[in-house]
Chains A and B, each alone.
Chain A
Amino acid sequence: MSIPYAVETKNLSKNFGSLKAVDDLNLTINSGEIFGFLGPNGAGKSTSINMICGLLSPTSGEVLINGKRIDNSHSTSRTVGLCPQDNIFWPMMTCLEQLTFMGAMYGLPRTDTKKSSIKLLADMGLSDKKNKLAKTLSGGMKRRLNICLALVHDPEIVIFDEPEAGLDPQSRVMVREYIHMLTAKKTIILTTHNMDEAERLAQRVAIIDNGKLLLTDTPENLKRHNGEEDILELSLPDENVSPEKAKALLKDMNGIISTESNRVLIKSKQCLALLPEIMNRLSVNGISIKQVQVRKNTLEDVFIKLTGRKLRE
Chain B
Amino acid sequence: MTLISAPFFVFIYPMIIQSSGYNYRVQVLNIDKGAVDSKSGVTTLYSKSIIDSMKNQSGQMLVFSNVTSKDSALTTLKKKKSDLLLIFPEQFSSNWDEKASNPEMRIPIEFSGDVTSWRYLMAGVFIQDYLYKNYFEKQGLKEPFEFKETPLGKSSELNDFDIAVPGLIIFAIVMLMYTATIAFVIDSESGTIKRLKMAKVSTFTYIGGLSLVQILIGGISVIITYFTAIGLGFNGQGDFWALFIVMLLTCISIIAFSIILAAFCKNITQVVVIGTFPLFLFMFFSGSMFPIQTAPIFTIGSFDFGANGLISSTHAVTAINKIMVMNLGVKDIIPEIISLILLSIFYFIIGGYLYQRKHLRAVS
Contact = CB atoms under 8 A, between A and B. Distances in A.
A106 B197 contact: no
A72 B200 contact: yes
A84 B200 contact: no
B201 interface: yes
A74 interface: yes
Contacts of B364: 57
A55 interface: yes
B198 A90 contact: no
B179 to A, nearest CB: 15
Nearest to B186: A90
Interface string A81-123: 1101010111100000000001001100000000000000000
Interface in B187-209: 190-192, 194-201, 205
Interface string B165-196: 00000000000000000000000001110111
B184 to A, nearest CB: 15
A2 interface: no
A56 B362 contact: yes
Query: Which residue among B192, B199, B363 has the maximum number of chain A CB atoms within 10 Å of its CB?
Result: B199
Nearest to B196: A105
Given A55-B363, A80-B198, 17 more contacts: A55-B197, A55-B362, A57-B363, A72-B200, A72-B361, A76-B200, A81-B198, A82-B194, A82-B198, A88-B190, A88-B194, A90-B190, A91-B190, A102-B195, A105-B195, A105-B199, A149-B195
A77 B190 contact: no
Nearest to A77: B200
Contact of A55 (B190, B192, B194): B194
Contacts of B199: 74, 77, 102, 105-106, 153
A53 B195 CA distance: 11
Contacts, number: 51
A73 interface: yes
B194 A84 contact: yes
A117 to B, nearest CB: 14
A237 interface: no
Contacts of B191: 84, 86, 88
Contact of A74 (B200, B361, B362): B200
Interface in A261-311: none
A54 B362 contact: yes
B198 A53 contact: yes
Top 8 closest pairs, chain A to chain B, by CB? A77-B200, A105-B199, A57-B364, A88-B191, A57-B362, A106-B199, A105-B201, A56-B363
A206 B188 CA distance: 31
6 contacts: A74-B200, A82-B194, A88-B191, A88-B194, A105-B205, A149-B195
A76 B361 CA distance: 14
A55 B198 CA distance: 7
Interface residues of A, number: 25
Nearest to A103: B199
A91 B194 CA distance: 15
Interface in A33-75: 50, 53-57, 72-74
Contacts of B190: 88, 90-91
Contacts of A76: 200
Nearest to A89: B192
B183 to A, nearest CB: 12
Contacts of B205: 105
Nearest to A101: B195
A87 B194 CA distance: 11
B192 A88 contact: yes
Nearest to A81: B198
Interface string B191-232: 110111111110001000000000000000000000000000
A235 to B, nearest CB: 42
A212 B50 CA distance: 92
A55 B363 CA distance: 6
Contacts of A55: 194, 197-198, 362-363
A82 B196 CA distance: 11
Contacts of B363: 50, 55-57
B198 A77 contact: yes
Contacts of A153: 199
Contacts of B201: 105
Interface in B266-283: none
A256 B233 CA distance: 93
B273 to A, nearest CB: 24
Contacts of B362: 54-57
Nearest to B205: A105
Query: Which residue among A81, A86, A88 has the maximum number of chain B CB atoms within 10 Å of its CB?
Result: A88
A255 to B, nearest CB: 49
A54 B364 CA distance: 10
A102 B191 CA distance: 14
A45 to B, nearest CB: 16
A88 B205 CA distance: 21
Contacts of A91: 190
A56 B205 CA distance: 22
A73 B200 contact: yes
A81 B194 CA distance: 11
A295 B160 CA distance: 87
Contacts of A57: 362-364
Nearest to B362: A57
Contacts of B194: 55, 82, 84, 88
Query: Which residue among B190, B191, B192, B364 has the maximum number of chain A CB atoms within 10 Å of its CB?
Result: B192
A72 B202 CA distance: 10
Contacts of A50: 363
Interface string B279-313: 00000000000000000000000000000000000
Contacts of A105: 195-196, 199, 201, 205
Contacts of A89: 192
